[in-house]
């Protein structure tokens, strides 16, 4: 059996204007157990960063599509962890190259930059990457695991983490489009049935993480994900953040349980 069922619920704050952030989710090959999510946002005020985040999102998706289109027809239907990470690498490379090249054509090199977070699920493997800010968490067996380490300055904050990345992030890792080569933080895990994955446009503080754990613990005790809840992402964001209305994007993803998938019906 395999993890062929993915349930996704999304959230975007009512006060998050489209000119500063957006997200996209798709199944790039229209097959079960595969999905791609990407969210991008500006990193500073100004038209340059607004154009950069839109380009980053568009060309991230373009990189995903090119990756899958380039696979040989006889490729194995189940690929390994390195192959799933390769989807992210191609997508981030496409996004960074586009934003960087466009910025230099306009003599705005280095000023066109965006924050970008991506997630790929394929055949029981989840890979995630980020350039800039954002956070991804796995909830399994009543334990919460972060995919990325939070900057030290964020772990000591009280209340919600800021929506916009700090300049320290830019100096340490850079943003999409700020340099010809981008340093992408990557992480991956083999998934299990009834795993929950949460994606946020903001890094979480220690307080946020505690609230997230308590919220997911309650959801599971109520029967989630077996009993699907309406607007579970809205509920999670409302309990984790004091100001969820300004959150650029969030996703709650539930996996499994393991099941057989019948791709074609055969008549009698």
Q: Is residue 261 part of a domain?
A: no
Q: What is the predicted pLDDT for the residue at 103?
A: 84
Q: What is the predicted pLDDT for the residue at 28?
A: 92
Q: Is residue 90 part of a domain?
A: yes
> Per the structure, how many domains does the chain have?
1
Residue pointed to by tokens 């607004």: 50
pLDDT digits (tens, 9 = 90+) for 31-65: 888 899 999 999 988 888 899 999 999 999 999 99
pLDDT digits (tens, 9 = 90+) for 172-197: 568 999 888 889 999 999 999 889 99
Q: Is residue 266 part of a domain?
A: no
Q: Is residue 176 part of a domain?
A: yes
Of the listed ranges 59-73, 108-122, 132-146, 198-212, the least confidently predicted one is 108-122
- pTM as predicted: 0.88
Range of the domain at 223: 6-255
Residue pointed to by tokens 């990345």: 165
pLDDT digits (tens, 9 = 90+) for 120-158: 999 889 999 999 999 999 999 999 999 998 755 444 343
Measured distance CA(91)–CA(67) in Å, rounded: 8
Q: Is residue 260 part of a domain?
A: no
CATH number where 212 lies: 3.60.40.10
Q: Is residue 1 part of a domain?
A: no
**Per-residue DSSP letters for 31-71?**
-TTEEEEEEEEESSSSHHHHHHHHHHHHHHHHHHHHHHHTS
Q: Is residue 265 part of a domain?
A: no
CB atoms within 10 A of CB 221: 9
- What are the tokens at 148? 């990325």
């Amino acid at each position: 059996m395999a993890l062929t069922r993915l349930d996704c619920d999304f959230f975007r704050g009512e006060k998050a204007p489209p000119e500063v952030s957006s997200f996209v989710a798709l199944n790039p090959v229209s097959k079960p157990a595969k999905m791609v999510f990407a969210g991008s946002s500006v990193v500073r005020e100004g038209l340059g960063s607004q154009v950069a985040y839109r380009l980053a999102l568009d060309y991230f998706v373009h990189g995903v599509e090119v990756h899958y289109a380039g696979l040989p027809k006889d490729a194995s239907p189940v690929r390994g962890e390195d192959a799933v990470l390769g989807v992210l690498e191609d997508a981030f490379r496409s996004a960074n190259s586009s934003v960087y090249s466009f910025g230099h054509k306009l003599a705005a090199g280095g000023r066109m930059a965006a924050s970008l977070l991506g997630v790929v699920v394929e055949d029981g493997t989840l890979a995630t990457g980020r350039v800039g800010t954002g956070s991804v968490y796995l909830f399994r067996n009543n334990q919460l695991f972060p995919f990325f380490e939070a900057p030290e300055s964020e772990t000591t904050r009280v209340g919600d983490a800021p929506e916009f990345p700090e300049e320290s992030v830019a100096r340490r890792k850079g943003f999409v489009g700020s340099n010809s080569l981008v340093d992408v933080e990557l992480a991956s895990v083999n998934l299990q049935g009834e795993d929950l994955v949460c994606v946020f446009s903001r890094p979480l503080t220690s307080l946020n993480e505690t609230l997230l754990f308590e919220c997911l613990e309650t959801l599971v005790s109520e029967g989630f994900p077996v009993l699907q809840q309406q607007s579970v992402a809205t509920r999670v964001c409302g309990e984790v953040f004091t100001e969820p209305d300004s959150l650029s994007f969030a996703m709650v993803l539930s996996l499994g349980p393991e099941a057989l998938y019948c791709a074609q019906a055969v008549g009698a």
